[in-house]
Structures are given as structure tokens and as C-alpha cells.
Structure 1
């Protein structure tokens, strides 16, 4: 591979931190701190998504129109995504000004506290309209905290990781995503075995209340963590910006836009397969659908992801981030139509396989490459904010919209699978196109303050706007 782009420069072959025992100890702490936070976030979000399709629509909304109750329940699911960009903007700014560590301490408390509180909420039958209002409020707080949690974990691990193995190490905390999703699916499968009256009275509350344990563990580890080496470099050279928002909108906006495109298939496809596929299967299979059995598709997909995410992260260290990312996007594109058609067959085993393969390989191949790629796209002065904006705006446009729009399409089309297949294929096409708009970021120096994708006024040709995005590429 011959790198010709001065904006994707390769770090020195030898990382001098590798022989430092203190660095090795902090690398282990960073991996644990990021992984447990990721596990908590996705345990809560996966649990909420599963509950949305099967519990919240019954307990928190008027049942005079069950189909509309399901749409409204998914709307509360989407509300959390609306809050995430605001949380990313607020905490991302603090992360670039004050450091990565303390922001991650605050976000884990906010996100986990709101999730625990959901387990204490009264239902529609108990307090009427106040039940969905309180649910929305907790979902907003949950989303506000989560808006910077995953971005912070991504940045923290990329900045700690050894240069030549950054893809692999950056992917390790995202095993927490799979572990959290896996744990949520297993727990939900178990509580679904309860008699329906017990499930709808106290059973569904138990996993939300249990998330408090994860909060305590994550908080203990994060309090012992040192600040990242690259942020320490900023402090040492007095390069910390006072206005990260101005920087990201003045210089980093092209990277944010490309990052949003990269996330459309990964995030949107994930939530379509994690939550919407269950709703679609129940709507088409009717009374024969076994809800507890179907969640094993998510469980197996997450189990596959525990291996496929770090594996593809390691492959991105050898093949490059773009190549691996594009492979995952193309897989999901080709998978869309046969997958949604197969869900119409009403066969539980086929449905479990479809969901597991889509999550385990389609979504997680992209995620494995993304772990290092997004932090590498942004300069050191506004990296936290840039990653947060790319992740959370895309979470609204892809993940948040997927549930509401998908549930609406199921309701108005009487379960037409083609519309859902087209929807997922469009998301995959957007991400595939985005992989051609970003330069290869493999081994990029994270102490640099310039972005990999940037606005260039000097190189804009005659008649070209000064805000044209100029993207430099890599020769392979």
C-alpha cells in the first residue's frame, strides 16, 4: 500500500509507549472502562427496543387502537435518538475542553440512572396519560447521556491503542455492545417465559432495575482511569480549544457529514434487525408467533458479533478501514431483499437465522472497521465532538427513524416486506457511497489537529464554491 495523501500520514512504525508498564496498565483499564460502559448502554437500549415491541405498547398507551399504540411506543423509542445529538453536542464540547475521562463518568451516571428509573414507572392503567409522559422523559435523559457515552468510549480507546493495532484494540470495547445486546436478549427471553400477567406486572421491571449494578462497576473503573495520551499532548502544548463547536462547524463539518453517511447502514440496519424484525414477524405470523423464541435471533447475532467485531477491527489494520467497511455495507445491501422476504414465511428457525446473520455479519463488519475509523477522521482539538456529532445525528436519521417509519410502513401496507427491504437497501447504498468519500485513515497520527476530510479553499478550482469538500485518497 502506497500512501500518497499527506492528510492520512502513517505514524511511526514503532510506538514508544509499547514498552511502558504504566501505559499497558492504563490500556487495560481503558478497555474495561469502555467495554462496561458500552455494555450498559446497549443493554439498556436493546432492552428498551425489545420491550417497545412487546411490552411498552401494552402497558403505557391506550389500547383502544393496538396498532397505533405500537406506533406510539416506537415513537418513544425514537425520542431517545432525538436527545442523543444534544447530549453529544453538550458532552462532546466538554470532552474536548476538559478531557475524556470525567465526561465518561458523568454520562454513565445519567444514562444508567434514567434506565433504572424506567423500571419504577407506573403504567397507563395506574396514572393515565402521565405514564407515557414519564416514559418519554426518562427516554430523553437516557438518550442525552448516551449521546456522548459511545463517542467517548470510541475516542478513549482509539487514543490509548497502539498505532499498528489500533483497529483491533479500538474494537474491543465494542464487544461490550455485543455483550450488552446479548445480555438484554437473554434476559428478555427468560422473563418472557413468565406467565403474561406476571410479565406485565413485575417481570419486565427486573432487568431495568438490575442495570444499577453495571453503573456501579463502570463508575469504579472509570474513576481509576488516567486521561488519554493524546489529550495530555494537547494540554502540554496548550492547544486545547476554547470553542470546539466553532471548530467543528467551521472546519470539521465535512467529516461529520461523511461520518453520518458511514453510519446509516450500520446503525439503521442494526435497529431494523434488533427491533423492527420482531414486530414484522409478529404482525405477519399472527397468533403462531413465539415472542420468547424469536429473540434468540438477536442473541445469536450478538454472540457472533463478540467475535466478528474484533476480527474485522484487526482485518482493518491489515486491509485498511475503507475496504472492510465497504464489505459490510455491500453484504447488507445484497442481504436486504432475501432477508425480509424470508421473514414472511412465518418459520421461527428461518427468522432466527435471518436476524442473527444480518446482525452478526452485515452490521458488525461495518462496526469493526468503524471503531478506529471515526476517531481517525477528526483532528485532536475537536475529535470527541466530531465523533459524537457523526454518531448521534446518524442515530436519529437511521436508528431512531427506523422504528417509527418501519412500524408505520407495516401498519399502512398490511405487512408488505418489499417496502422494508427497499428501506434497508437504501441505507446500505448510502453507506457504500460514503466509503468512497473518505480517504484511508489507517495509522493516522491522532495528535494531528487537522481532519482527514476537510474543506479546502486554496485547492478549489475556478467557479467552485469555497465550501467544496476536497477529499484526498490512498493508492492501493
Structure 2
């Protein structure tokens, strides 16, 4: 196998490459589906089940805040998982790290379905829940970064945006599946839901683990990592590299993710908690989750579409459109949800997820791997993704639930929060160079420290950290 991915024409003429590209797509997609099935399911359960079953009910509002805090704990663990497994991914290869992470992440999710409640073991219930959430986040910290890197390195150069986005259909499928399953279990009588019904989808994660393991064990290493090994260019200290030469790329990557990641979790989990605060405890929970369902269904089309468009007009243009769309959509979206109408709230959430979030996700699939050089690409993508997940997605639940509690359900504060996230991402699209069709065997980052600081030559495709070239 050559060190770089062949052209689209060559794919048809190389059966081995075509077969490996197909395996990589399946391996990445199923892993993404499992990750987002677990995370979306956990998010949906946080505001309706975990707050009741795993925390004392003296103050229901604070119980919800505490439940969202455990939701945020998973995000805190993700950077450490990304750091640990990202380092291994750049030294040992992409394949085996993805095998380990799927087992860790899926195993923790399955174990959540076996946990006793607060009524049964008291304070140990939330402690065990937090422990499983930490393990889940630790594994997830490298799972999505690995899938992203895997597909970008396998994809044909001129269609990298499209092929890199295909595994992210797994994100939509996982979110869609979680919303559908949750909608079904909430149809159960409340007593059945709170005793055994909520456990079923978590236990079902085990099936996805088996399928993902089967596919990933048959996967071959990516062409660019083979090239790295062939020329003995594997980084001895990837962690040091990523926090020195690679730091500008990580910082800009975090900025790019703020609106996409934060907006995603605000629409998925926080919108449900907010709607309950507006309508009251008699909210029909199964109806509102259809907003996430329709949004994810829409995303199955918008993610690969925007990825393909970015192959033609560039990553930055498409990404900036999505960020500006969310910026303009934030205020009307939360106002519409605050009206307390089921159809309007469902539509608002669906558009937020399906268009605002996923228009950024499409080009991001190729853009993040293109930002980093071959020696520390896995670690760079992992750090950009997971640090932003803490700052955006993790805080979205905790801070949002707190804002709802202290403001008596004031939608304006939530809208302002989303506007800030969108402004950060919009600004970040002006700080990143165009990465379209960048050679992934290159050692240098697309964004890097100026030559006087790094000792490297800065060419036309790089961005000086001091002199910004638009």
C-alpha cells in the first residue's frame, strides 16, 4: 500500500484499497454511532431519569443540576483519554487504539444499565454513576478523534471532505437511535420506566461493541501512518510537540468546535430540561425527543452534503456559513422553545441540530485532521476535540441547568450563551488557513508558530501565529 491515499479513479483500479476504505468507513461509523448513542442517551436520561433515581429529591431543581454535573464529568475525562490514547495512536497506529477505546467506552455504558439507585445504596449510587461516566468519557476522548483521522487518511484526496464525513453519519444514526429508543421507553408507565425500562438501552450497547470489534479487528493501518513508520518519522515525544509546535492548531481547533459541540448538546439535552421548566412536570417527554430525532435524521443528509460541498468551495466557507447561521438562529430558536408548544419546540430543535450544528460538522471531519502534521495528527485532533468538548459541551449542561434554575426559566440567558459560542466559532474561521487537499504525509501543521520561534520554514500554506494572513 502506498503512503498516500490514491485519487478517486485509482480507487476503482485498486481492489485492496477499495476494500480497506470500505472497512474504515464501517469501523468509524459504528464507533461514532456507539459513542453518540451513549452520549445522547445519557443526555436525554439526565433531565428525566438520573435526576430522580440517583440523587436525593429534597430539592428537585438542584437534583437536576447535580445530574447535569455528572453529565459534564464525562466531558472532563475526555481530554485525559484523548491525551493518553492520542499519544498511543501517534506511536502505535490508529487501528489498535480504536479497538481499545470501543471496548472501554461501550463497557462503561453497558455497566450504567446495571447500577443500583440512590434508594437502594444511597450516596454510592451517584458515586458509581460518576465512575462509569468517567470511564465512558475516557474512552470516548480518543474514539471520535481516531475515527476522524482514520477516514481522512484513507479518503481520496479530492473527495476527502465527503468520505471523511461519512463516519459522522454514525453520529446522526447514534443520536437518532438514542432518541427513538428513549421515545419508546418513555411510553412505558412511569413505574416501569423508573425500575427497569431505562436500563434496557444502556445494556443494548453491548451489541454495538461486538459488531464494532469484529470490523475493527479486520482493519489495516492507514496509508499515512504506514508512510510514517516506513521512514522512521514517528514522534518520540508527541505530547511535547502538540503543546509547543502544534499548540496554535489546537487553540484554533477548539474555537472552531465551540458552536458545533456546545450547540449540539444544548439542543439535545438542555432544550429538554428547559422545556420541562416551561411546561411543568406533566410534560410529554416522548413528544419532545422527536426534535432530536428529526434533527439527526436531517443530519444524515446535511453532514455528507456539506462535506462534499467543502471539497469544491473550501472548508472555511462552509464552516463559516454554519457558524453564522447558528449566530442568527440562537435567539429565535430559544424564544420559540419558550412558547411551550410541542410542534414549535420540536421544529426549533430539529433545525438547530440538523442544519445549524451539522453544517459545521460536515467540513470539520476533514478540516481538523488537515490542520495537523502526520507526526502528531491523532493527538492534535484529540486535544482540539476534547478540550473543546469540556469548554463547550460539558459546560452547556451544567451552566445551562444552573441558568434555568436561578432565572426561573429565562430563555434570553440561554440564547445569549449560544450567541457567545457562535461568535467564538465565527471568529475562529477567520484565523484558520484553507486546508483543502492538503497533503496528509506532511510533517508540519497548517497553523504553526512563526519560523523565528519554531525553527521551521513557513510556507504559503501555513499561518503565522504573529502575522495572520487571511
Q: Same fold (TM over 0.5)?
A: yes
Query: More displaced, 413-422 or 12-21?
Result: 12-21
SS at match of 1:281: helix
Q: Deviations over 1:434-464 (max 9, x none)?
A: 000000000000000000000014399xxxx
Name the CA shift for 1:181/1:261 in 2 (closer, same or farther; >3 Å).
same
SS at match of 2:280: helix
User: What corresponds to 1:6 in structure 2?
Assistant: none
Question: In structure 1, which of residues 67, 72, 80 is the aligned counterpart of residue 74 of structure 2?
Answer: 80
User: What corresponds to 1:7 in structure 2?
Assistant: none
Question: In structure 1, which of residues 159, 178, 193 is the aligned counterpart of residue 172 of structure 2?
Answer: 178
* Aligned 1:194-209 pairs, distance under 5 A: 194-209=188-203
SS at match of 2:252: helix
User: What corresponds to 1:270 in structure 2?
Assistant: 264
User: What corresponds to 2:277 in structure 1?
Assistant: 283
Q: Is it true that 1:211 corresponds to 2:205 in the alignment?
A: yes
Distance in 2 (CA, whole Å) between partners of 1:382 and 1:471 is 24
Name the CA shift for 1:451/1:164 in 2 (closer, same or farther; >3 Å).
same
Distance in 1 (CA, whole Å) between partners of 2:329 and 2:354 is 12
User: What corresponds to 2:459 in structure 1?
Assistant: none
Distance in 2 (CA, whole Å) between partners of 1:432 and 1:201 is 45
User: What corresponds to 1:5 in structure 2?
Assistant: none
Q: Is it true that 1:402 corresponds to 2:371 in the alignment?
A: no
User: What corresponds to 2:366 in structure 1?
Assistant: 372
Task: Say if 1:454 and 1:470, in contact at 8 Å, map to a contact too.
Answer: no
Distance in 1 (CA, whole Å) between partners of 2:385 and 2:133 is 18
Deviation at 1:289, TM superposition (A): 2.0
Q: Is it true that 1:20 corresponds to 2:11 in the alignment?
A: no
Task: Say if 1:271 and 1:402, in contact at 8 Å, map to a contact too.
Answer: yes
Q: Give the unaligned 5+ runs of structure 2.
A: 455-462
Name the CA shift for 1:468/1:314 in 2 (closer, same or farther; >3 Å).
closer
Q: Deviations over 1:332-367 (max 9, x none)?
A: 000000110111111000000000000000000000
Name the CA shift for 1:366/1:36 in 2 (closer, same or farther; >3 Å).
same
Distance in 1 (CA, whole Å) between partners of 2:234 and 2:223 is 14
CA RMSD, Structure 1 to Structure 2 (Å): 1.7
Q: Deviations over 1:17-74 (max 9, x none)?
A: 5521100000000000000000000000000000001000000000011000000000
Question: In structure 1, which of residues 441, 460, 469 is the aligned counterpart of residue 465 of structure 2?
Answer: 469
Deviation at 1:220, TM superposition (A): 0.2
Query: More displaced, 279-288 or 197-206?
Result: 279-288
User: What corresponds to 2:443 in structure 1?
Assistant: 449
Task: Say if 1:81 and 1:143, in contact at 8 Å, map to a contact too.
Answer: yes
Deviation at 1:472, TM superposition (A): 6.3
SS at match of 1:458: helix
Q: Deviations over 1:194-234 (max 9, x none)?
A: 00000000000000000000000000000000000000000
Deviation at 1:285, TM superposition (A): 1.0
User: What corresponds to 1:347 in structure 2?
Assistant: 341
Query: More displaced, 332-341 or 16-25?
Result: 16-25
Name the CA shift for 1:26/1:471 in 2 (closer, same or farther; >3 Å).
farther
Task: Say if 1:234 and 1:381, in contact at 8 Å, map to a contact too.
Answer: yes
Distance in 2 (CA, whole Å) between partners of 1:250 and 1:338 is 41
Task: Say if 2:447 and 2:464, in contact at 8 Å, map to a contact too.
Answer: no
Distance in 2 (CA, whole Å) between partners of 1:457 and 1:446 is 21
Deviation at 1:470, TM superposition (A): 4.4
Question: In structure 1, which of residues 133, 153, 162 is the aligned counterpart of residue 127 of structure 2?
Answer: 133
Distance in 2 (CA, whole Å) between partners of 1:364 and 1:131 is 35
Distance in 2 (CA, whole Å) between partners of 1:139 and 1:412 is 26
Name the CA shift for 1:295/1:197 in 2 (closer, same or farther; >3 Å).
same
Task: Say if 2:78 and 2:140, in contact at 8 Å, map to a contact too.
Answer: yes
Distance in 1 (CA, whole Å) between partners of 2:238 and 2:338 is 48
SS at match of 2:236: coil
Question: In structure 2, which of residues 355, 358, 373 is the aligned counterpart of residue 361 of structure 1?
Answer: 355
* Divergent runs of 4+, >6 A: 11-15
* Aligned 1:131-280 pairs, distance under 5 A: 131-280=125-274
How many residues are paired up? 459
TM-score (norm 2): 0.95
Name the CA shift for 1:14/1:23 in 2 (closer, same or farther; >3 Å).
closer
Q: Give the unaligned 5+ runs of structure 1.
A: 1-10, 461-466
Distance in 2 (CA, whole Å) between partners of 1:378 and 1:407 is 35
Distance in 1 (CA, whole Å) between partners of 2:93 and 2:433 is 27
* Aligned 1:321-340 pairs, distance under 5 A: 321-340=315-334
Question: In structure 2, which of residues 17, 21, 26 is the aligned counterpart of residue 32 of structure 1?
Answer: 26
Task: Say if 1:453 and 1:471, in contact at 8 Å, map to a contact too.
Answer: no
Q: Deviations over 1:391-425 (max 9, x none)?
A: 00000000000000000000000011110000000
